[in-house]
Structure 1
Amino acid sequence: MMLDLLGGFGEKGRTSLAVSSGDDRILLDVGIKVGAAGPEYYPALEGPADDIDAVFVSHAHEDHVGALSWLLSRGYGGPIFMTAETRGETPATLAAYAEPADFRQFPLPEDRIELFEPGDTLTSGNLTVRTGRSGHVVGGVWFAVDDGTSRVAYSADVVPDSNVFVMDTIPHCDLLVFDASYGADPVSGAARAREISQWVARHPQGCLLPTPLSGRSLELVAALPGPFAIHAGMRSSLEAQIGATVSLLPGISEFLLARLQGAADWTDADPLPSLPLLADDGMGEAGPSSRLLPRADHAGFPVLLTGHLPAGSPGDLMHRAGRADWIRMPTHPTLSGNIGIWEKAGRPPALGHSCTPDLLGDLKNHIPSLLTQWRTGQCITVRQGSR
């Protein structure tokens, strides 16, 4: 089995991985890199895409599906495997992050979508693709690909210790490609949630919390210490996510629904509220937060950023100028989570995706079989181990 590292290796963004065995070739995710331009915005896929048999999408965040219209424009004509939740969210992601001309000509091809449920086992040629819940977003999954000789497990984005979502155990494998977004950060999600709650409590006059529409929004809803507001356009999506109870920890959906029902709706025509306000997206690149960040900045309205900030993004510029605070709300594994994933997978050789080289070096001190030299654009052979 061969892997082409098409994006997200030695870098954050454009996550994409091609798996080949014999005459069969599939693509796992097809993301874009926020803040990049030209070829670096897209996966490092040389030539046309007509040699790919199938595409499997883990979830609908831009760094995992934002290049789908681009892939279609390069001649990809096969099936696209995704969950119903990912299908529902992908058009909005493409509208925000795809090249407008590509999106107009190559929107999501509904007739080629192959729906599956997390936990299903899928096939493409001689490749068997096992799936499991990611703990990252509703409908998000990891993939484990087996050709009968070797197995590679690709985590996509996962959260093994989420306060909201369930993650299924990744199986034993010959190579683990895992979510190394935070490097060796040891601070737990529960501790970060307390920090965020305390920050919000110190700003009773109101504040803005930009957040992705899916995933982190529910983590923040669970963490906020009192009443809050949401941009009105988020409500239907948040209700649908809360209703997908199979993706949530037992009992959490009732708590989240009660919190959401008590939240105030806010629109762009309203004055800034004297409440914490959630608005998507998390970087200020698109959605309501792209309008709200400049407005909050002009008004001196407190802003708390809680996720990845690509260089040059509106959120990054505000934070670097000292006009916005930042506390990470973990929506990727911290150190103990990744050690646990690796150990349960049988301590195999491992690649970390969505991580800079310096952070990978720190992580290798804790995961000795981590291969830190591999980068986007390279190819690696998966060798059968002792699983």
Structure 2
Amino acid sequence: MLQVDLQGGFGEKGRTSVVVSDGSTRVMLDAGIKVGATGDEYYPVLARPVAEIDALFISHAHEDHIGALCHLRRQGYAGPIYMTEETRAEMPATLAQYADPADLAEYMPQSEQIRLFRPGETLTVGALNVETGASGHVVGGVWFCVEGAGHRVVYTADIVPESAVFPMQPLPACDLLILDASYGADPIPGAERARQIGEWVAGYADGCLLPTPLSGRSLELMAAIGVPFAIEAGMRAALSAQIHAPDAVHKDRVKVLSERLDAARDWNVGEPLPACPLLVHDGMGVAGPSRPALEAAESAGFPILLSGHLPAGSPGARLVDEGRAAWIRMPTHPTLPENTALWEVAGRPRLIGHSCDATSLDALHQHIPALMAGARTGDTHQIDKETTHAHSDFQ
């Protein structure tokens, strides 16, 4: 039997975290925070003390998957932390923005804790095998398949099956699929959204602001934009590293993205907004250069386009709600047809959606009846020979 504890990201967006155990070995997959939350709701809800976790695996360096690392170390976690080289490189910047300052000062992950792997490797912890594969979401991002006791659980983390930039490796068949349901039942293909964004930006080629996460969506936006643009200067090295990471970007996109980055102007916080589209991070206006850039753009009446998840109360959400910014989703998660196909490829298993609110889960359930739309943070699921059981036994 395998037991699966849903520690965050279920019926909600943020603090994504899952634990899989065969009764003797426990592995934790991701440790995110929830932007906009406070207190205990900011961090994953731990099913068991951290001392009982044998290994922690991080899918990628976005805050809703890695932001609680320092918090876990404060709680006493001293075991191995598995991640890719690209995730390790991006980790300090993410934690600097989203970790508690006191935790950041004292409990940064130690270099001896970090175990590096490449997407496609299979790792062993106790009696559990953890298969990995490129996720198509960001450079170095992965999905996980945990196998033990004769069963398999696939946790996709964030995935993009048809990214114009990043390749994704196929998911294996499994007994339980924990699927990226960020977009609910949205059916619009990524290529169509990218076309809409490209047209919007072309309409404001003489100046507009594009807040974006440093990894992942930034390259998707660069691929969609057909006019000269600027970037916040501190992004350049990270974007170049992402473009040229081994096997991380579709080969036919490396040259195009490299040329566009080379041609991009540098912009620094405090300078006048440029007379061209400007990419700044992060994508919500919560942290990083995008916060002062949004304030400057709002004051100047500079056009703003948001293109991803906006937590309630975030600067980006406020601007959209007030009609001061446009919003067009740049797909960096699977759409409805993609999720349906992923479920089919995995063998039509029982299904749980993560990173999605209750209303959107109900909508997705109408299209994929195998989805357990009522699964929530705090639930425990058991996989045995006959079926998948679910109950809640921790808060």
TM-score category, normalised to shorter length: over 0.9
2:166 is aligned with 1:173: no
Deviation at 1:48, TM superposition (A): 3.3
Q: Per-residue displacement from partner, 1:305-342 (whole Å, max 9, x unpaired)?
A: 00000000111111111111100000000011111111
Rounded Cα–Cα distance in structure 1 between residues aligned with 2:4 and 2:341: 24
Cα distance change of structure 1 residues 385 and 227 upon mapping to structure 2, 3 Å threshold: farther
Equivalent residue number for residue 116 of structure 1: 117
Q: Distance in 1 between matches of 2:137 and 2:48?
A: 32
Deviations 1:90-137 (A, max 9, x none): 111111001100111101211110000000000110000000000000
Partner residue, 2:285: 284
Q: 1:330 to 1:385 in 2, by over 3 A?
A: farther
Go from structure 1 to structure 2 and tell me whether the alpha carbon gap of 1:53 and 1:12 turns closer, same or farther (over 3 Å shift).
same
Distance in 2 (alpha carbons) for counterparts of 1:25 and 1:189:
36
Report the TM-score when normalising by structure 1. Answer: 0.98
> How far 1:384 moved relative to its partner?
4.0
Task: Please identify, of 239-248 and 49-58, the stretch whose mean Cα deviation from structure 2 is larger.
Answer: 239-248
Q: Which residue of 2 aligns with 1:145?
A: 146
Give the Cα–Cα distance (whole angstroms) in 1 for the partners of residues 48 and 178 of structure 2.
25
Query: Partner residue of 1:264?
Result: 265
Report the Cα offset of residue 368 of structure 1: 1.7
For 2:203 and 2:158, the matched residues in 1 are separated by 31
Deviations 1:55-112 (A, max 9, x none): 0000000000000000000011100000000001111111100110011110121111
Task: Note if contact 2:28-2:53 (Cα within 8 Å) is conserved in structure 1.
Answer: yes
Q: Is the 8 A contact 1:90 1:108 kept in 2?
A: no
Taking the aligned partners of 2:161 and 2:48, their CA distance within structure 1 comes to: 37
Q: Partners in 1 of 2:114 and 2:383 — Cα distance? A: 29
| Paired AA for residue 294 in structure 1 | E
CA–CA distance in 2 between the matches of 1:325 and 1:13? 23
Q: Secondary structure at the match of 2:370?
A: coil
Supply the distance in 2 between the matched residues of 1:269 and 1:14 (Cα, whole angstroms): 32
After superposition, where does 1:21-60 map in structure 2 within 5 Å? 21-45=22-46, 48-60=49-61
Instruction: Describe the SS at the equivalent of 2:50.
Output: coil
Alpha carbons 1:174, 1:384 under 8 Å: kept: no
> In structure 1, how many angstroms separate the alpha carbons of the residues matched to 2:196 and 2:108?
40
Structure 2 residues without counterparts, runs of 5 or longer: 388-395
* Partner residue in 2 for 1:238: 239
The amino acid that maps onto 1:248 is: V
When the two chains are superposed, the root-mean-square deviation of aligned CA atoms in Å is 1.1
Cα offset, 1:47, TM superposition: 5.9
Matches within 5 A, 1:242-321: 242-321=243-322
Note the C-alpha offset of 1:46.
Answer: 5.0
Question: For residue 7 of structure 1, what is the aligned residue in structure 2?
Answer: 8
2:107 partner letter: F
Deviation at 1:22, TM superposition (A): 1.9
SS of the counterpart of 1:22?
A: coil
Query: 1:246 is aligned with what amino acid?
Result: D
Secondary structure at 1:265's aligned position in 2? Answer: strand
Secondary structure of 2:362's aligned partner: helix
Check conservation: 1:136, 1:157, Cα contact below 8 A. Answer: yes
| TM superposition shift of 1:385 | 6.9
Work out whether residues 218 and 256 of structure 1, in 8 Å CA contact, stay in contact via their aligned partners in 2.
yes
Q: Distance in 2 between matches of 1:235 and 1:309?
A: 24
Q: Which amino acid aligns with 1:326?
A: W
Question: Which residue number corresponds to residue 73 of structure 2?
Answer: 72
| Stretch of structure 1 that moved more, 310-319 or 376-385 | 376-385
The amino acid across from 1:195 in the alignment is: Q
Output the CA distance in 2 between the equivalents of 1:47 and 1:167: 32
Question: Unaligned stretches of 5+ in structure 1?
Answer: none
Moved over 4 A (4+): none
Give the CA deviation at 1:148. 3.8
| In 2, Cα distance between equivalents of 1:192 and 1:47 | 42
Q: Secondary structure at the match of 2:10?
A: coil
Question: What is the letter of the counterpart of residue 82 of structure 1?
Answer: M
